[in-house]
């Protein structure tokens, strides 16, 4: 599966679980870690866990190998590594504290309207 398809899958899964403020960064020219970062948050540990489990479930249904899943037990910052796409699902408080969007401010954002309206 191409990185853009993985991105679409992750964004749609997060959106279906009512993730807040979904932001996608194109990391291609900024980092060797991944092509895209998806950053979003939930307002409770339960919602954070639900978002993360939905992304993982949809990845599995699509035949994708989840390289790493960290933080699911605490549900404060869950990282889902889909190889080319890394999904960060934060609890609202943790997102404000870590502020990945500012940390990776050199990375351009991806227009989510194209993904969510397709």
Look at residue 118 in the predicted model and tell me its pLDDT: 63
Number of domains comprising the chain: 1
Token pair 């020219």 in the structure block, residue = 29
Look at residue 113 in the predicted model and tell me its pLDDT: 82
Which residue segment(s) compose the domain that 55 sits in?
3-111
Look at residue 11 in the predicted model and tell me its pLDDT: 97
Within-domain flag for 70 = yes
Look at residue 98 in the predicted model and tell me its pLDDT: 93
Look at residue 29 in the predicted model and tell me its pLDDT: 85
Rg of the chain, C-alpha, whole Å: 13
Within-domain flag for 116 = no
Q: What is the CATH number of the domain that holds 82?
A: 3.30.460.10
Name the pTM for this structure: 0.93
The string of DSSP letters for 30-49 reads: T-SS-SEEEEEEESSHHHHH
Look at residue 22 in the predicted model and tell me its pLDDT: 97
Residues of the chain with pLDDT under 70: 118
Within-domain flag for 49 = yes
Look at residue 116 in the predicted model and tell me its pLDDT: 81
């Amino acid at each position: 599966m191409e990185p853009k398809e993985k991105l679409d899958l992750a964004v749609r899964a997060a959106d279906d679980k009512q993730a807040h403020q979904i932001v996608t960064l194109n990391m291609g020219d900024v980092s060797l870690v991944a092509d895209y970062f998806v950053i979003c948050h939930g307002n409770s540990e339960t919602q954070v866990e639900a978002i993360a489990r939905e992304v993982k479930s949809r990845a599995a249904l699509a035949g994708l190998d989840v390289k790493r899943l960290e933080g699911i037990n605490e549900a404060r910052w869950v990282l889902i590594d889909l190889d080319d796409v890394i999904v960060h699902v934060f609890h609202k408080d943790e997102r404000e504290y870590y502020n990945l969007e500012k940390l990776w401010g050199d990375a351009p954002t991806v227009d989510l309207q194209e993904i969510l309206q397709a």
